[in-house]
């Protein structure tokens, strides 16, 4: 296929062509080819707008990258989407469209290929994971912009990273701006949560075995961890919200239970715990993060107990603080 899409790198284009060669005899292949073309169209739209890294002029007003950074850092959270430059909005849409394209590749091969191309599916899934984690990294950085306790120099650096993502959405990946977050998520995907006594010893051991980054283990293993930081890490480790863990611990004590597995925990809480505790891929990690982030936002608004920010935000703040020498 002709490289009409400027926002795919060489490795991704190789996967596109190899996947098309595998599924070209299947019904529905034209839909996939059309979606590649549409992604190219979206990329061209994004490219048609001025770079966010350059000065531009609108009437008698000169717009500089520093002005965008200042606006991102100081504007109200509720107005975020409305005040984004159009290029940023299109860039964000491109990333989501790219994720959906790679998902369609996997679905086509899973449902129709015989023999099943195991290695190719694994390669496509890896690229899908990177795109989803890039989207996740973007959301972590956005949340940092509006955290009251984050110093302005850290927010400004986060804003610069975001502008880079939006300026070249297909070519900027999480490995470039936050390999720690990607390693954190990949390690968590390898943890088969047991719950047990809810002390987290088994899960911590498995997290370390899964090549969790040293920054993660050092940050959440340090002395002087705040109650919010500790609770946010528990949510990340177990996949359950602070409120669910609090209720589960209370019920275990009242029922004289020394340990529970996800199935028993689900019976106690009246929910499918397995869905939330077993975070095995980028899609379930995205759902886990969004669920935890929304709960944090609710607690901040309601002044309720529990973590005010996610584990990812706390860790990313510490990483950025080192980068800006704070």
What pLDDT does 11 receive? 85
What pLDDT does 168 receive? 85
Task: Please write down the HEC assignment for all residues of the chain.
Answer: CCCCCCCCCHHHHHHHHHHHHHHCCCCCHHHHHHHHHHHHHHHHHHHHCCCCCCCEEECCEEECHHHHHHHHHHCCHHHCCCCCCHHHHHHHHHHHHHHHHHHHHHHHHHHHCCCCCHHHHHHHHHHHHHHHHHHHHHHHHHHHHCCCCCCHHHHHHHHHHHHHHHHCCCCCCHHHHCHHHHHHHHHHHCCCCCCECCCCHHHHHHHHHCCCCHHHHHHHCCCCCCHHHHHHHHHHHHCCCHHHHHHHHHHHHHCCCCCECHHHHHHHHCCCHHHHHCCCCHHHHHHHHHHHHHHHHHHHHHCCCCCCCCHHHHHHHHHHHHHCCC
What pLDDT does 1 receive? 47
Percentage of the chain beyond pLDDT 70 is 94
For 140, 281, 290, 296, 297, the CA distances from 302, given in Å and listed in that order, are 21, 32, 18, 10, 9
Is residue 269 within 8 A of residue 244, CB to CB? The reply is yes
Average confidence (pLDDT) over 126-148: 93
What pLDDT does 113 receive? 67
What pLDDT does 262 receive? 95
Q: What is the pLDDT of residues 233-264, one digit of tens each?
A: 999 999 999 999 999 999 999 999 999 999 99
What pLDDT does 203 receive? 93
Average confidence (pLDDT) over 156-172: 88
Q: Report the predicted TM-score, pTM, of the whole model to 2 decimal places.
A: 0.90
- Measure the CA–CA gap between 162 and 141, rounded to whole angstroms: 7
Residue 2 scores a pLDDT above 50? no
Q: What is the pLDDT of residues 293-319, one digit of tens each?
A: 999 999 999 999 999 999 999 999 999
């Amino acid at each position: 296929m002709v490289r009409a899409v400027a926002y795919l790198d060489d490795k991704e284009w190789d996967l596109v062509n190899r996947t098309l060669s595998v599924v070209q005899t299947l019904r529905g292949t034209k839909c996939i080819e059309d979606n590649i073309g549409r992604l190219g169209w979206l990329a061209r739209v994004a490219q048609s707008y001025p770079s966010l890294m350059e000065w531009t002029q609108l009437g008698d007003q000169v717009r500089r990258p520093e002005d965008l950074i200042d606006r991102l850092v100081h504007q109200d959270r509720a107005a975020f989407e409305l005040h984004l430059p159009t290029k940023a909005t299109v860039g964000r849409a491109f990333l989501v469209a790219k994720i959906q394209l790679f998902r369609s590749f996997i679905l086509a091969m899973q449902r129709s290929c015989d023999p099943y191309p195991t290695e190719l599916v694994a390669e496509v899934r890896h690229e899908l994971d990177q795109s989803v984690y890039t989207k996740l990294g973007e959301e972590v950085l956005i949340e940092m912009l509006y955290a009251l306790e984050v110093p302005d120099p850290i927010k400004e650096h986060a804003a610069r990273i975001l502008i880079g993502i939006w300026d070249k959405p297909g070519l900027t990946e999480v490995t470039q701006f936050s390999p720690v977050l990607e390693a954190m998520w990949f390690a968590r995907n390898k943890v088969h949560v047991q719950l047990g006594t809810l002390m987290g010893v088994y899960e911590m051991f498995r997290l370390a075995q899964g090549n969790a980054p040293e920054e993660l283990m050092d940050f959440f293993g340090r002395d002087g961890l705040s109650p919010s930081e500790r609770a946010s890490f528990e949510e990340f480790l177990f996949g359950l919200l602070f409120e669910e863990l609090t209720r589960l611990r209370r019920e275990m004590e009242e029922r004289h239970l020394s340990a529970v597995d996800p199935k028993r925990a689900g019976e106690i809480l009246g929910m499918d715990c397995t869905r939330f505790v077993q975070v095995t891929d980028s899609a379930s990690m995205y759902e886990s993060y969004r669920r935890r982030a929304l709960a944090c936002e609710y607690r901040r608004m309601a002044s309720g107990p529990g973590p005010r920010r996610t584990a990812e935000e706390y860790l990313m703040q510490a990483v950025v603080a080192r980068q800006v020498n704070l």
